[in-house]
Amino acid sequence: MKDERLDLEVLVAAARDVAKKAYAPYSRFRVGAAVVTEQAAVYTGCNVENAAYGSTVCAEVSAITSAISAGEAHLEAIAVAALDGVDVFPCGNCRQVMREFGVDKLIVDGTDGPTVYTLDDVFPHSFGPEDLGGD
CATH no. for residue 89?
3.40.140.10
> pLDDT tens string for the chain (135 positions)?
555 555 888 999 999 999 999 999 999 999 999 999 988 999 999 999 999 999 999 999 999 999 999 999 889 999 999 988 788 999 999 999 999 999 999 999 988 889 999 999 999 999 988 888 765
Q: What angle do CA 64, 69, 48 make, to 5 degrees?
A: 50
pLDDT at residue 6, rounded to an integer = 54
Strand order of the sheet with strand 31-37?
42-46, 31-37, 75-82, 105-110, 113-118
78, with CB counted inside 10 A (0-12, 13-18, 19+), is buried
Q: Can you say how many angstroms the Cα of residue 18 is from the centroid of all Cα atoms in its chain?
A: 12
> What is the domain count for the chain?
1
Give this prediction's pTM: 0.91
| Enzyme catalytic residues | 60
Q: Count Cβ atoms below 10 Å from residue 61 Cβ, excluding itself.
A: 21
Q: Side chain identity at 55, as an amino acid letter?
A: S
Q: What angle do CA 38, 86, 115 make, to 5 degrees?
A: 40
Angstrom distance (rounded) from CA 71 to CA 116: 26
Range of the domain at 71: 4-132
pLDDT at residue 39, rounded to an integer = 87
Cβ atoms of 102 and 75 closer than 8 Å:
yes
